[in-house]
Amino acid sequence: MKRTVLPMGPQHPVLPEPLVLDLVLVDEKVVDAVPTIGYIHRGLEALVEKIEYTEMGYVAERICGICSFMHGMGYCAAVEDVMAVEVPERARWLRVIWAELSRIQSHLLWLGLGADAFGFENLFMHCWRMREEILDIFERTTGGRVIFSVNLIGGVRRDIDDDELLVIVEKLQELGTAFEETTRVFATDPSIRHRIEGIGVLSADDARAVDVVGPMARASGLAQDVRSTGTHLYDRLDFTPVVEEAGDCLARVLVRVREVTQSIDLIRQAVARMPKGDGQAISVNVRGRPSGETFMRLEQPRGEVVYYLRANGTKMLERFRIRTPTFANVPAMITLVKGCDLADVPNIILTIDPCISCMER
C-alpha cells in the first residue's frame, strides 16, 4: 500500500508547545512516527557557567512553568545536599505543601487539556476553573501565580501562618468535594470511555522495557513513585502510589484524577504534622562555596526527575544535569503511536502529558 507522510507540528492546535512528529501512514493507520525536537532548546544547563550558584535557582525554576516550584525545590535540595545544610523542619513541610499544590495544579491543567483533545470543551473549562483556585492559594501565599521563586538555598522565603494553613486545608476540602463530580464524569461518561478506553495500551512489560516514569508507569500497573522512597519528609505521611492496571489512555487519565484527591489528602496530613507556632525558622543562612557532587530525585507531576550537580569550590557550578520525566516518556509515546488510528494520535500524545520545555531545557 502507498505510504503517506503527514507532518504534525511544530505549530498545531493540540500541542501548546512545538514538537514535530512525522507520521507515516498507510491509509488511516499510523505505521511509524519520527519525532524532531530542538525548537525549545535554550541550553540552560550551560548557564551554570555564567550564573552564580546562588542565582541559578531562578533559572532552574524556569525550566518549566508548570512544575516550576518543584524544579526550584530540586535544585535547592541538591545544593543543600552538597553543602550539607540542615534545612529547618517547617521549611521542609512548607515545601511539601507547595509541591503537592503544584501537583494538583498541574494535573488539573492537564486534565483540562486532555478533555479538550477528546472534544469535551466544557470539562476543559471546569478543570481550569478549579485550577484557578489553586493559583489563588499560590498568589496569597507567595505573590506569584505560576513562577514564584519561593525556594531559597537553605529553606523557603515565606512562611504561611497557622491560621492560613487551616484556611487552605478547608478550601482544598471544598475543592475535593467539587472535584468528585468531575471524577465521576471522567470515570463513567460513555462518550469519554468510547474515545479513550482501550486506546494506546502500554502493557506492564512494555512500560518496563521503554522505561516510563510517573503517572504513565503507574497507569500500566507499575507502582513506581519517588515519594514512596520517603525522601523529602514523605516517610512521615501515609502514602501509597495510585496504580491502575489497564495501561490505556483512560487509565492514564484516571491515575491523574485520583492523584488530585490524593494530593489534597497529603496536604491535610502535612498541615496536621508540621511543627506549629509563630517565630519558627524557615531558612538558614548559607555561606561559602559548594564543593562535591550529588544526585537528587523528586516525583514531579509528570514523573521522576533527576538532578546531577557537580561543584568545584568556586561560585559557579561545574555541571548541572537534569533528566526530566517527559524525556523518559517520549520513547513510549512513539511506541504507542505506531499502529493506532490517525484520529487517536492527539489523545495518545497528550496522555503522556508532554512538557517539551522540560524535555529540551
Partner 1 sequence: MSYLRRSPWILHYDGSSCNGCDIEVLACLTPLYDVERFGVVNTGNPKHADILLVTGSVNERNIEIIQNLHRQMPDPKVVVAVGACAVSGGIFARAYNVQGGIDQVIPVDVYAPGCAARPETIIDAVIAGIGVLERKRKVSA
Judged by the rule CB under 8 A, the positions of this chain that interact with partner 1 are 10-13, 16-18, 38-44, 46-47, 50-51, 58-59, 62-66, 68, 109, 112, 124-125, 128-129, 132, 145-147, 355, 357
How near is the Cβ of 275 to partner 1 at its closest, in Å? 32
**Cβ 298 to partner 1 shortest distance, Å:** 17
Name the minimum Å distance from CB 349 to partner 1. 15
Kindly state the smallest distance separating residue 221's Cβ from partner 1, in Å. Answer: 30
**Judged by CB, which is closer to partner 1: 42, or 276?**
42
Nine-digit cell string for 24: 507515516
Nearest distance from C-beta of residue 43 to partner 1, angstroms? 4
Q: Output the smallest distance, CB 22 to partner 1, in A.
A: 16
Closest to partner 1 by CB, 68 or 263: 68
Q: Which is nearer to partner 1, 45 or 293 (CB)?
A: 45
Alpha-carbon torsion angle 237, 169, 277, 80, nearest 10? 50
**Closest CB to partner 1 among residues 145, 297:** 145
Q: Quick one: 66 or 82, whose CB is closer to partner 1? A: 66
Range list of β-strands (E), 27-179? 29-36, 151-152, 155-156
Closer of 17 and 293 to partner 1 (Cβ): 17
Task: Enumerate residues 6+ apart whose C-beta is below 8 A from 139.
Answer: 145
- Of the pair 259, 353, the CB lying nearest partner 1 is at 353
Cα separation, 51 vs 45, whole angstroms: 11
Q: How far is CA 245 from CA 1, 197, 201, 215, in A?
A: 36, 13, 10, 12
| Beta carbon of residue 354, minimum distance to partner 1 (angstroms, whole number) | 11
Closest CA to 79 of 282, 288, 294, 285: 294
294 contacts: CB under 8 Å, gap ≥ 6: 78, 81, 82, 308, 309
* 38, burial (CB in 10 Å: exposed 0-12, middle 13-18, buried 19+): exposed
Give the whole-angstrom CA distance, residue 287 versus residue 124: 47
Residue 125 to residue 42: CA distance in whole angstroms? 32
